[in-house]
Each structure stands twice: as structure tokens, then as C-alpha cells.
Amino acid sequence: MSMINPVIVLDTDSTATEQIWLYPVTRQCMVFWHSRHYSTHTVRRRDMLRLLLNLKQSAGQWVNRYALG
């Protein structure tokens, strides 16, 4: 039985990040950097929700605090 893993894609206006992909089911976050690299992190769902509910928040600050922190 395969598990459905929906993704939420956010295009950012950050100078460091290009896109953030959120996978709420598996708590994974993929960050695509302007340097053409990407990184994968485990993030709490409440922190994903924090980013989605406050789109005025800087994507770079969110990545630094919740994904890399």
C-alpha cells in the first residue's frame, strides 16, 4: 500500500532561497537555494503552519530558525 505524500510549494522572494517544498505528512522540508543546491530537513508541522499562516515572514529567516536551527 503506497502512502500519499502531498507537497506544498512556496516560491520565495528571498535572496538566498528560491523555493521551499513542505511535505506535512512526513514532516520533511526541501529548501532550494539560488546557488542551485538543495537541502532536506525534518521540521515540526507547527513550524510549517507558522510559515503558511504568516506569508509576510522572511523565508530566509524561517529556514534559518526552523529548518537549519
- pTM recorded for the entire structure: 0.89
* CB-CB contact of 20 with 39 (8 Å): no
pLDDT tens column, 16-69: 999 999 999 999 999 999 999 999 999 999 999 999 998 788 899 999 999 998
CB contact at 8 A, 51 and 60: no
Q: What is the band of 2 on the pLDDT scale with cuts at 50, 70, 90?
A: low
Rounded Cα distance between 2 and 25, Å, is 13
Rounded CA separation 67/47 (Å): 9
What are 21's strand-pairing partners?
9, 30
